[in-house]
Amino acid sequence: MAGNQSHYLYTPSPALAAVVAGLFGICFLITLFLIIRKRTWVWLVMLFGIGMEVVGYAARVVSANNVTEKTPYVVQFTLVILAPVLMAGVIYVLFSRIVFWVVPPELRTMRFIWVPPRFITLIFVGFDIISLLLQLIAALLISGTNPTDSNAQQKINLGKDLGLAGVGVQLAGFGLFSIAAARFHFSSRKVDTDFARMNMTKHGIQTNWTTLLWVVNASCVLILIRSVFRMVEFSEGRTGAVQQAEWYTYVFDTLPIFLVVVLYNIWFPGNYLKHLGFRLPKEHRRLPSDPETLPMGNMRPQV
């Protein structure tokens, strides 16, 4: 925006943004410590997402103190919009690792999991990448357009449509994932626990993986709440109610995402699973179609 016109339709609170940046900063340091301690390198994606929240709300402090400045507004808007997309992506990976940790190779079928096991990460991260790109372009168009531009309304409308598409893709992907994860929560109870217990014994892990699955499902609900809020925000545009007051953003975006981060700091995945590097070891990726996988009837201890 130009001149002395504020980028906000309300008076933003720099103090509140600073508190949120500080809270995410504490979570960033805790997550970094846990990643190094447990060598869960794939969780660096979550760390990067938390870092985006820290920088985003720090930029919001600057923007709240300089409401007519374009750069800090664009930075805070873009980073806060995109960070949860990265978090969703690493949760997809985590669910895939839980499946391969718990389910014996002969049961790793689409009928049992409702998703092709070999492509769990690829499918849902694919949704995430498309959503990320659409929301990135939308954020830049909406936050970076000056009202004095000759085609300002056209750019804002395009940004709004792309934002809706991006959040829609995220909602579709994450909604399907949430259904699969919730269904697995119940179907996994039918699986013989010997396979998971064998992995726990082999790698010296004492904590039960079922707690982590509860956390995955809880984080799904929280991210879905945030995604629905962003869908409403994009669909209403600047004339909508949610852009007229700051508390909507903090209650329906900031709070759910902060709770997701806190959940994984308390119940850190590295305490429940071993293989959380960027690539799952080959011996743990076996499927029923693989020649080295034993049929179910042969999964008995040899005498």
pLDDT digits (tens, 9 = 90+) for 136-146: 888 888 777 77
pLDDT digits (tens, 9 = 90+) for 32-75: 999 999 999 999 999 999 999 999 999 999 999 999 898 999 89
Helix (H) or strand (E) holding 278: none
Dihedral pair phi/psi, residue 141, rounded to 5°: -65, -45
pLDDT digits (tens, 9 = 90+) for 243-265: 889 999 999 999 999 999 999 99
As given in the structure block, the two tokens for residue 48 are: 């990067």
Higher pLDDT, 298 or 239: 239
Q: Per-residue pLDDT for 120 more than 50? A: yes
Q: Which of 30, 5, 56 is nearest to 265 (CA)?
A: 30
* Residue 120 Cα to chain centre, angstroms: 15
Tell me what pLDDT residue 72 has.
93
Dihedral pair phi/psi, residue 151, rounded to 5°: -110, 30
Q: Which of 133, 132, 124 is nearest to 173 (CA)?
A: 124
Band (pLDDT 50/70/90 cuts) for residue 102 is: confident
The number of CA neighbours under 13 Å toward the Cβ of 268 is 23
pLDDT digits (tens, 9 = 90+) for 185-239: 787 777 777 777 777 777 677 678 889 989 998 998 999 899 899 888 888 877 7
Q: Per-residue pLDDT for 287 more than 60? A: no
Tell me what pLDDT residue 298 has.
34
Q: What is the mean pLDDT of the chain?
A: 83
Q: Which of 301, 300, 279, 289 is nearest to 41 (CA)?
A: 279
Which positions ≥6 away from 189 have C-beta within 8 Å?
Answer: none
Higher pLDDT, 302 or 18: 18
Tell me what pLDDT residue 127 has.
84
Band (pLDDT 50/70/90 cuts) for residue 28 is: very high
pTM: 0.83
Tell me what pLDDT residue 16 has.
97
What gap in Å lies between CA 103 and CA 47, rounded to an integer? 28
What gap in Å lies between CA 153 and CA 238, rounded to an integer? 12
Q: Per-residue pLDDT for 277 more than 90? A: no
Cα angle: 12, vertex 55, 145; to 5 degrees: 60
Least confident of 4-18, 40-54, 127-141: 127-141
pLDDT digits (tens, 9 = 90+) for 157-179: 888 888 889 888 888 888 888 88
What gap in Å lies between CA 226 and CA 219, rounded to an integer? 11
Higher pLDDT, 82 or 174: 82
DSSP state of 77: H
Tell me what pLDDT residue 112 has.
72
Q: Which of 84, 32, 12 is nearest to 53 (CA)?
A: 84
Q: Classify burial at 158, counting beta carbons within 10 Å of its beta carbon; exposed 0-12, middle 13-18, buried 19 or more.
A: middle
Contact assessment for residue 246 and residue 14, using Cβ atoms and an 8 Å cutoff: no
